[in-house]
Structure 1
Amino acid sequence: MASGAILRHDELPPDTILVRIDGRTVTEQLAIDHAAMMSQAIDDLRAQYPRRGDPSGLLADTFTVL
Structure 2
Amino acid sequence: MATKGFSVDLTQATWFKSSKSGPNCDNCVEVAYVTGAVGVRDSKDRSGPALVFAPADWRAFVAGTRDGALGPA
TM-score by length of 2: 0.26
Higher strand share: 2
Q: Which has the higher contact order (CA 8 A, sep 6+)?
A: 1
